Amino acid sequence: MWDSAIVAYIHYLSFGLVLASLIVERQTMKSELTIRQGWVILIADGIYGTAATALLATGVLRLLYFGKGTEFYTENPVFWAKVILFFTIAGISLYPTISYLMWIGKLRQNIAPKLTPFRTNLINWIINIELVGFSAIPLLASMMARGIGLNWLS
């Protein structure tokens, strides 16, 4: 019983950290960054990646060991919509992450990252999409937990 509660807690905490780190990235991102802002974005993105990994790991644990049984989830198209949404967001998040990682050398030399307006807008749009996508996941989870979608395919 404690195991289930701890896994659920880490799952929810990870979800909150994902959203918080994306908000920090979105609020900090601009074409002309200071060295400090560059590091803030890098750290926030590291937290985002770690939290998203923990979210996935605890989600798998809940599916396999602490939920309503794997069939309850895997036979529900809402579950698969949630999984597809998660991995779609993970895929598009690679562009900002790779961009940020390319800053490390310059930041270590105390040189602030310089972004074109196009790249800044693109990263901001990607973060916006991530925020909307991650905001939709709890709705899908609530639907799934209530069995909504179980009868859609029959």
pLDDT at 152: 67
- The domain ranges of the chain are 2-145
Q: What is the mean pLDDT of residues 116-144?
A: 95
pLDDT for residue 144 is more than 80: yes
CB 112 within 8 A of CB 35: yes
User: Hey, is 114 helix, strand or coil?
Assistant: strand
Q: How confident is the model at residue 154 (pLDDT cuts 50, 70, 90)?
A: low
Closest CA to 42 of 82, 87, 102, 88: 102
pTM: 0.90
As a whole number of Å, the end-to-end CA separation of the chain is 34
Q: What is the pLDDT of residue 119?
A: 96
The per-residue pLDDT for range 63-108, each reduced to its tens digit, is 999 888 888 888 889 999 999 999 999 999 999 999 999 999 999 9
Would you place residue 2 in the very low, low, confident or very high pLDDT band (cuts 50, 70, 90)?
confident
